[in-house]
Amino acid sequence: MLTLISHALCPYVQRAAISLAEKQTPFERRTIDLADKPDWFTALSPLGKVPVLLVEQPGETTVPIFESAVILEYLEDTQPHPLHPAAPLERARHRAWIEFGSAILNGIARLYSAPDEEAFVKASESLAGMFSRVESELAARTSSPWFFGEAFSLVDAVYGPIFRYFDNFDQIGDFGILRDRPTLAAWRQALANRASVKGAVSDDYPARLDAFLAKRRSHLSVLMGPTDHRPISAA
């Protein structure tokens, strides 16, 4: 039995949820508030971060696995429908682009935390450069719906949550980060339509992300203006 300890907005949690859905593996999801971490969670997660995967084996002690990359690898080792290629070189290439996705998430955090316009522009230009690299990689391949071809992979699972940020950012303004990248746009749309990607967050995710961004008191917060047009459910 698997339990995924989650936070409503965490993109790293979404990676694990997408992988589990693609593998058609049943699991329970338990969402916590990272601003008020329960004692039982801090006992499980040495770094105090989500996701944590609880692996319950009959007659044995439940084992917590922390760090999203480790969780993804464990699921590859134990669950059906592999999302990584078998060949070592190809698997290494996939892992490298997953790491690049993590670097993009760090860039997104710098963007929404930028305290002023100068820092915001710098962060947006850096992100645009990173997505330019992704666009070049995609455009060099033959036409296919996913990053590495016809099969959905862990690379796709990682970038689905990345593009989800831009669904909110696009409502605030056009910052030029994804502009004029047709291959990237097609991949983004394919990911948005994927059932596992859609199901990785709750229906009120956009409102929750708006509320999170507004509280940053950053340059992006100023650009947002009022955010009460997206009510958050009590669930």
Catalytic residue IDs: 10
Q: What is the DSSP letter of 146?
A: B
Number of H helices, E strands in the chain: 10, 4
Which residues, 6 or more positions from 138, have their beta carbon under 8 angstroms from its beta carbon? 147, 183, 184, 187
CB 90 within 8 A of CB 153: no
Helix (H) or strand (E) segment spanning residue 139 = helix 117-139
Q: In what order do the strands lie in the sheet with 28-31?
A: 28-31, 2-6, 52-55, 63-66
CB 212 within 8 A of CB 164: no
